[in-house]
């Protein structure tokens, strides 16, 4: 038995990948991640094609617009649609962003929540309400951010302290995004490896890896539009060493390479997972 909702190597399902993935005989994919907002409105042929993927692969769901930290009331109409979607497609877990994206309308970006104790209580209460409504624990993803909302210095928490406090108070799971940790570490001047080591590994559902854009030496932008770079792979190694082999998903949203190039990145994840599994087994034998 595993404590994770899925195992192995995953891929974020995008419309541009549906053709290549459906034609591949044996792609190196163990599970898919789908955004419910992208698929709930779909009908007809596209809905049937989508259903073929969720019947073929175990699936997890990553939300885009619940705005857990936003000032507007939670959208229970959307949550009702998501609950039906999760049941219809037998989705194994649901995750959302630790951010907000709406205030009297959709902002079309993931905005950072102030790192304060007050915000911890606010967003944790909203997460608990979502979990009660869905009847299951959800996972939250720490997001990339490029500016921090102004708060009184005496009230400010560090990012890691804030994330840990929300996880504890909401009693929810964690979606660890290794690229977000890398991007934030560069942009805000902290050690991303230390950030990852400080997270509660027992709460991790699965992991994201992705590429980003180099705006400047000290400014990285999380785009999911490029290949994963070596420093991000090394941070994934840090996570495996700290927490054991974790289910790991490759995100790619645009600027798609040939499908075989994506498969090479997926195989790299699989190779890392097998290597750490073998190392763990060897350590167990030596200590027996």
Give the global pTM.
Answer: 0.92
Q: Where are the domains of the chain?
A: 9-287
Q: At 45, is the secondary structure helix, strand, or coil?
A: helix
Write out pLDDT tens, residues 36-56: 999 998 889 999 999 999 999
Averaged pLDDT for residues 25-31: 96
DSSP tag of 89: T
**pLDDT, the chain, mean:** 92
Sign of CA dihedral 265, 9, 200, 118: positive
Homologous superfamily (CATH) for 9-287:
Divalent-metal-dependent TIM barrel enzymes (3.20.20.150)
The span from the CA of 39 to the CA of 282, in Å, is: 44
pLDDT at 286 (0 to 100): 54
The span from the CA of 219 to the CA of 183, in Å, is: 8
Write out pLDDT tens, residues 210-260: 999 888 888 878 888 999 999 999 999 999 999 999 999 999 999 999 999
**Residue given tokens 């037998």 in the structure block:** 90
Averaged pLDDT for residues 139-163: 87
């Amino acid at each position: 038995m595993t404590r994770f909702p899925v195992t192995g190597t995953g891929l974020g399902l995008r419309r541009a990948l549906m053709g290549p993935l459906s034609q591949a005989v044996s792609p190196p994919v163990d599970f898919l991640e789908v955004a419910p907002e992208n698929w709930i409105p779909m009908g007809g042929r596209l809905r049937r094609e989508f259903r073929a993927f969720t019947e073929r692969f175990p699936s997890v769901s990553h939300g885009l617009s619940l705005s857990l930290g936003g000032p507007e009331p939670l959208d229970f109409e959307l949550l009702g649609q998501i609950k039906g979607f999760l049941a219809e497609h037998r989705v194994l877990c649901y995750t959302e962003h630790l951010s907000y994206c709406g205030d009297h309308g959709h902002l079309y970006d993931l905005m950072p929540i102030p790192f304060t104790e007050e915000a911890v209580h606010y967003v944790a209460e909203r997460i608990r309400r979502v979990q009660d409504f869905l009847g299951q624990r959800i996972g939250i993803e720490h997001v990339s951010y490029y500016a921090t909302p102004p708060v009184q210095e005496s009230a400010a928490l560090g990012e890691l302290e804030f994330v840990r406090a929300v996880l504890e108070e909401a009693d929810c799971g964690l979606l660890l995004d290794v690229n977000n940790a890398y991007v934030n570490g560069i942009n805000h001047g902290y050690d991303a490896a230390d950030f990852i080591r400080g997270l509660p590994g027992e709460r991790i559902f699965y992991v994201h890896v992705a590429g980003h854009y180099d705006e400047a030496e000290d400014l990285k932008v999380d785009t999911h539009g490029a290949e994963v770079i070596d420093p991000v792979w090394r941070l994934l190694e840090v996570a495996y060493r700290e927490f054991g082999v974790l289910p790991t998903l490759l995100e790619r949203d645009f600027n798609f390479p040939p499908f075989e190039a994506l498969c090479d990145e997926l195989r790299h994840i699989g190779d890392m997972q097998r290597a750490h599994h073998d190392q763990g087994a060897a350590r167990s034998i030596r200590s027996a």
